[in-house]
Structure 1
Amino acid sequence: MYHAETWSEKTGLLFKILWPILVTQLGLYAMNLTDIIMSGWVSKEDLAGVAIGSSLWMPIITGINGILLAVTPIVSQMIGSGKRNGIAKFISQALYVSLIVALTVIIVGSFLFKPVIGLMGLEDKVAHIAFYYLIALLFGIVPLFASNVLRYFFDAQGFTRISMFITLLAVPFNVLLNYVFIFGKFGVPAYGGIGSGYATAITYWLIFIISVVMTFKVSAVRSYRLFIEWAAPSLKVWKEILTIGIPIGLGIFFEVSIFSVVTLLMGLLFDTGTIASHQIALSFSSLVFMVPLSISMALTIVVGYSVGSGKMKAARQYSLLGVGGGVGLMGLSAFVLFFLREPIAYLYTQDSDVAKLAAQFLIFAIFYQISDAAQASLLGVLRGYKDVQKPFLIAFVSYWIVGLPSGYLLAVYTDMNAYGFWAGIIIGLTFAAVGFLLRLMRVQKGLQGGNGSNVIESV
């Protein structure tokens, strides 16, 4: 990491940090996408079961794991303020927290997955596949959370290519395992869609092992002596991580879980074909969302580094670059998606009725991508400032007080039917984008001329 002076240098640094993050995010999402697509090759029921299981899983790995995202702004500000000596001890504490969080998810998930799926009124085969897909994934949640701590540790220092390298190694391995466990190859029974859960869990272990190896092999991080010198558990540091991480995690959970609730409501109101079509559109639009999400993560790094160094003007300039770039790219993406929506739908299924309905859902995805890009990039900037409490409240109101009720009313009481839920999502995302923008303006105004990173929570 270094301090770029001109707009051109800042653009170059942001892009240098951004593109490996984007490759990493696309790779990680490719594993989820592979689960759904390859399960769809077995049957429509396997597609629906894995899609529903995935829709419940995503709030876990993005929302609850969001607690660990606190590592990025904390480490980036430590680096910016010259406090590198405390980073290794902090990462030890973050790994302790990741283990506690993972074990909590395993225990709670084991008891709640079945009753939640039961509320959806699914066909027996679809419900069976969804439940055991989730159980299979739980075998990999400990290494998943631990490897994410290491990823955020690498990324916060600008070493985003390390995470990219690890992911590029893991994705082909995941595809091969899916082939083996879904279709029953090399003496392994054919588990169908459930097998994709086992394949992904094993891949999570591979990612963790490679991540640990990289802490010893890469000279830039070897000096921290991670996994050699362990700090004793510290409740004080855990509190710092959770104080920042829990609002981040809940904010992400409120956004991601709205899609899960929409899928659950669709299961109660519409048939399996509609659920599968909705999930296809959601799956692909979520893939496209990896672009603004990556921009958001890159912004957290560069803004946090600038704020930690007391360079508030640079932090504002990065904000303009990232938010403007994210919205612009999603505008271009929406234009392309409009013309390719049907071919994209057929990538997921050979059922023409499901594909045509999915193409209609993708039209709504076109409209919400712009607001989604704006809210994601703005939120990344706010995290760089370690401003997390107010954005958490904005997210809750936007998605659960405004977006979800609007979608339900439009779906049930108008002729929009299932499309009404997507209209509600658009409304919620737009509300969030406006709220985050107003919050960022207040934060930046309050810190104008300031030089500290720990005053944010009082703004």
Structure 2
Amino acid sequence: MYSAISISQKIKLYTLILWPILITQISYHAMNVIDTMMSGRAGTTDLAGVAVGSSLWAPILTGFNGILMAVTPIIAQLLGKGEKQSISRSVLQALYLSVILALLVYLAGIFFLPSILQFMGLEAEVSHIAKHYLIGLSIGLVPLFASNVLRFFFDAQGFTRITMVILLIALPISAFLNYILIFGKFGFPELGGIGAGYATGITYWIIFGLSVFMTFKIPSIRSYALFSTWFRPSLKAWKGQLALGLPMGLSIFFEASIFSFVTLLVSRMFTTDVIAAHQAALNFASLLFMIPLSMSMALTIVVAYEIGAGRLKDARQYSKIGITASMLIISVASVLLYFFRESISYLYTDNQDVVQLAMSFFVFAIFYQLSDAAQATLQGVLRGYKDAAIPFIIALISYWGIGIPSGYLLATLTDLGPFGFWIGIIIGLTCAAIGFWIRLALINRRFRHSL
């Protein structure tokens, strides 16, 4: 990281940090897309089972990942202040915390997953596939959480290409493992959608191994001696990270969970074809969301660095650059999605009924892209300021106080059916974007008077 002076220099630095993050995020999500697409080729029931499993897993992953994401602004601000000597201790404490969080997810799955699946009222085979898909995936929870800590450590220093390279290596391995485990190739059992879970879990171990290797391989990273110098676990350090990370994680969780909750309601109220079409559209739309999400993560890095150095004007300039670029790019992507929605639907299934339903869902997905892009990038800026508590409240009210209730009413009291839920999502995301924009204006005013 370095301080860029002119607007053109800032755009260049922001782009250099952004594009590896974007490729990394797309690669991470591509694993889920591959799971869903290849499971769909195994059958509509497999597609529905993996869809339900993925929808239950997504908010858990993003929520806990949000807690660990606190590593980025913490490290970036330490760098901006010139306190490099404190970085190793902070990263190691975050690694300890990541293992604890992974174990908590294991316990929650053991106690609550059977009841959740039973409540959803799924067909027996769909429920079986969803359960065992998640069991297979769970073998990689500890390495996944730990590798994410290392990723945020790399990213905070501007070394965003490290994780990009790791994911580009891991992605084809994940696709190959999906192929042999879903369809039973090279002597392996034919597991259908369940095989996708085991393939992903194994891939998480590979990603972790490569991440640890990079801490020894890259000279500037090796100087921190992460796995050579050990510190005792510190409750004080965990408390500090959780004070920032917990509101961040909950904010992200409440956004991601509305999609999972909608899938749960759709699963209870509509047919397997509707479930499959809903998930196909949501799965691909989420892939597009990796663009503003990546821009949000890059914004957190550059804004936190400038705030740590006491340069409010530069932080505000980065904010404008990132938010404007995000809205322009997602607008173009939404137009392309509209024209190619039929071809995209066929990537998931050959079932004509499912394809027609998915095409309709894609139309609604287009409308929420802009609100989603706006709220994501605004949150990224706020994280750079290490502001998380108020954004968490805004997210909770917007997503669960407004979005879900309005969607449920539209789905049950009008002829919109499952599409009513998507309109509710649009309403919730729009309210969140407005709330985050107001919060950012207030934060900028406060910092202007304090610096």
TM-score (norm: length of structure 1): 0.98
Paired with 1:46 and 1:114, the residues of 2 have a C-alpha distance of 18
Aligned twin of 1:156: 156
How much has 1:449 moved relative to structure 2?
5.0
Aligned twin of 1:113: 113
Give secondary structure in 1 for the equivalent of 2:70: helix
Gaps of 5+ in 2: none
Paired with 1:187 and 1:114, the residues of 2 have a C-alpha distance of 31
Aligned twin of 1:126: 126
Aligned twin of 1:425: 425
Aligned twin of 1:330: 330
TM-score (norm: length of structure 2): 0.99
Give secondary structure in 1 for the equivalent of 2:42: coil
| Matched-pair identity in % | 57
Matched to 1:162, the amino acid is I
Tell whether the 8 Å contact from 1:110 to 1:135 is kept in structure 2 after alignment: no
Aligned twin of 1:95: 95
After superposition, where does 1:237-316 map in structure 2 within 5 Å?
A: 237-316=237-316
For residues 322-364 of structure 1, give each alpha carbon's deviation from its aligned partner in whole angstroms, at most 9, with x where no partner exists. 1111111111111111111111111110111101110000000
Aligned twin of 2:412: 412
Aligned twin of 2:31: 31
Aligned twin of 1:58: 58
Aligned twin of 2:182: 182
Give secondary structure in 2 for the equivalent of 1:140: helix
For residues 295-345 of structure 1, give each alpha carbon's deviation from its aligned partner in whole angstroms, at most 9, with x where no partner exists. 000000000000000000000000101111111111111111111111111
Aligned twin of 1:137: 137
Deviates more, 1:71-80 or 1:177-186: 177-186
How much has 1:186 moved relative to structure 2?
2.0
For residues 137-175 of structure 1, give each alpha carbon's deviation from its aligned partner in whole angstroms, at most 9, with x where no partner exists. 111000000000000000000000001000000000000
After superposition, where does 1:425-444 map in structure 2 within 5 Å?
A: 425-444=425-444
Q: Is 1:228 the counterpart of 2:232 in the alignment?
A: no
Q: Is 1:15 the counterpart of 2:21 in the alignment?
A: no
How much has 1:377 moved relative to structure 2?
0.1
How much has 1:113 moved relative to structure 2?
1.1
Paired with 2:213 and 2:80, the residues of 1 have a C-alpha distance of 26
Matched to 1:419, the amino acid is F
How much has 1:112 moved relative to structure 2?
1.1
Deviates more, 1:328-337 or 1:363-372: 328-337
How much has 1:19 moved relative to structure 2?
0.2
Give secondary structure in 2 for the equivalent of 1:186: coil
Matched to 1:407, the amino acid is G
Q: Is 1:205 the counterpart of 2:190 in the alignment?
A: no
Give secondary structure in 1 for the equivalent of 2:358: helix
Aligned-pair Cα RMSD in Å: 0.7
Gaps of 5+ in 1: 452-459
For residues 216-236 of structure 1, give each alpha carbon's deviation from its aligned partner in whole angstroms, at most 9, with x where no partner exists. 000110100011111111111
Give secondary structure in 1 for the equivalent of 2:121: coil
Paired with 1:231 and 1:449, the residues of 2 have a C-alpha distance of 38
Paired with 1:402 and 1:134, the residues of 2 have a C-alpha distance of 30
Paired with 1:316 and 1:2, the residues of 2 have a C-alpha distance of 16
Tell whether the 8 Å contact from 1:312 to 1:450 is kept in structure 2 after alignment: no
Structure 1 consecutive aligned stretches of length 4 or more whose deviation exceeds 6 Å: none
Give secondary structure in 1 for the equivalent of 2:69: helix
How much has 1:99 moved relative to structure 2?
0.4
Tell whether the 8 Å contact from 1:151 to 1:163 is kept in structure 2 after alignment: yes
Paired with 2:252 and 2:75, the residues of 1 have a C-alpha distance of 20
Paired with 2:148 and 2:82, the residues of 1 have a C-alpha distance of 24
Paired positions, count? 451
Paired with 1:335 and 1:44, the residues of 2 have a C-alpha distance of 28
Paired with 1:427 and 1:119, the residues of 2 have a C-alpha distance of 27
Paired with 2:177 and 2:338, the residues of 1 have a C-alpha distance of 34
Aligned twin of 1:368: 368
Paired with 1:4 and 1:410, the residues of 2 have a C-alpha distance of 49
Aligned twin of 1:172: 172
Give secondary structure in 1 for the equivalent of 2:371: helix
Paired with 2:232 and 2:130, the residues of 1 have a C-alpha distance of 40
Matched to 2:72, the amino acid is T
Paired with 2:85 and 2:450, the residues of 1 have a C-alpha distance of 25
Paired with 1:175 and 1:14, the residues of 2 have a C-alpha distance of 31
How much has 1:450 moved relative to structure 2?
3.5
Paired with 2:126 and 2:190, the residues of 1 have a C-alpha distance of 17
Paired with 1:30 and 1:267, the residues of 2 have a C-alpha distance of 24
Aligned twin of 1:457: none
Tell whether the 8 Å contact from 1:69 to 1:245 is kept in structure 2 after alignment: yes
How much has 1:110 moved relative to structure 2?
1.6
How much has 1:408 moved relative to structure 2?
0.2
Aligned twin of 2:393: 393
Aligned twin of 2:447: 447
Matched to 2:12, the amino acid is G
For residues 363-399 of structure 1, give each alpha carbon's deviation from its aligned partner in whole angstroms, at most 9, with x where no partner exists. 0011000000000000000000000000000000000
Matched to 1:403, the amino acid is G
Paired with 1:177 and 1:445, the residues of 2 have a C-alpha distance of 52
Aligned twin of 1:454: none
For residues 233-252 of structure 1, give each alpha carbon's deviation from its aligned partner in whole angstroms, at most 9, with x where no partner exists. 11111001100010011001
Give secondary structure in 1 for the equivalent of 2:314: helix
Aligned twin of 1:356: 356
Matched to 1:64, the amino acid is F
